[in-house]
Amino acid sequence: MSSHPALNLHSDPIDLTAALVDIPSVSRAESVIADAVEAALREQTVGFEIIRSGNAVLARTDRGLPSRVMLAGHLDTVPIADNVPSRRERDGVEGDVLHGCGTVDMKSGDAVFLHLAATIEEPAHDITLVFYDCEEIDAALNGLGRIERELPEWLAADVAILGEPSGGFIEAGCQGTLRVRLSAVGTRAHSARSWLGDNAIHKFGAVLNRLAAYSAREVDIDGCLYREGLQAVRISGGVAGNVVPDAAELDVNFRFAPDRSVEQAIEHVRDVVDGLDLGFEVTDSSPGALPGLAAPAAAALIEAAGGRFRAKYGWTDVSRFSALGIPAVNYGPGDPNLAHKRDERVPTDQITNVTAVLRGYLTTG
């Protein structure tokens, strides 16, 4: 008897989304959903080589077609918030909507990819499918990174489509992200004798003013407008209610356009805080991804989607593909603003529309 639920890849992608949502798959606990996906691909697709890497499932065709399209999606979700199993609301104020953990991020995208793999009989491109684990947690655990290290040949493609929620728009590239910890040192004293101390928290006054007045750069790349942002995201310090603090920290997050490298982003933040007596430590960084929409395979996808594209402001795994020289876009059902929320939900017509667009793209030379 099977230890995993059976998936029908030929069913409507809306129903397939619900079936995927009904399999809990919080990060690091994706084995059951990976078993179900692997079994369904082996039983219901033709012409795919299929392998397993941990809790990731990979499949590809080798028909000798002139181009290769990668469809990639993560199988894991954030922790469940009383929103599994799925629930379909057909006549609500938002129309026909599917509720549940992962409906947006990103089991609806996975369902579209699985359905197309099983139902397209004459593709115009060779297809690679990558369903991977641990995307929602520490980047060091990301299954796509493991595949890149251990099975790099599986990530070769002319264009990569990541099924991240994009509201049915093609969201091209992504911005980079940088986190810097600024530190201030002072002298501890009793607050009743504050002149004997040096308040570390007060030393952040100048940098907070600079951040509040910061003018964000906008840059157009391949017709995609990226708007940068530099924000204080955490501040800590203080000893007690009657003590002048002698240490404090301020975390700053810089979301930068993909025409900057991580090194250039670091130098820009250094310039913003130049002249202030503060410690400077880079605590996290990830490069952005150029949209690459001029590449023929990417341009054809834009055309298939009716020219609906925009810049991706958040960071996604398209950055990994961009670093490999592969044009990559985010394209999937769902409003990214609803990802990870207790009331996560996706309009079912977006699942249907994304399926139709990708079917047209994958079957047109």
Q: Is there a contact between 225 and 311 (Cβ–Cβ < 8 Å)?
A: yes
Q: Is there a contact between 158 and 68 (Cβ–Cβ < 8 Å)?
A: yes
Paired tokens of 61 = 């065709």
Cα-based torsion angle of the residue sequence 191, 197, 202, 203 in order, rounded to the nearest 10 degrees: -170
Q: Is there a contact between 319 and 176 (Cβ–Cβ < 8 Å)?
A: yes
Q: Is there a contact between 59 and 68 (Cβ–Cβ < 8 Å)?
A: no
The catalytic residue positions are: 76, 135
Paired tokens of 333 = 């059902």
Length of the chain in terms of residues written = 365
Q: What is the DSSP string of 43-60?
A: HH-SS-EEEEETTEEEEE
Give the chain's end-to-end CA distance (angstroms, integer): 42
- Tell me the C-alpha distance between 90 and 71, whole Å: 29
Q: Is 353 helix (H, G, I), strand (E, B) or coil?
A: helix
- Tell me the C-alpha distance between 142 and 162, whole Å: 14
Longest dimension (CA), the chain: 81
Report which of 102, 340, 45 is spatially closest to residue 57, judged by C-alpha positions.
45
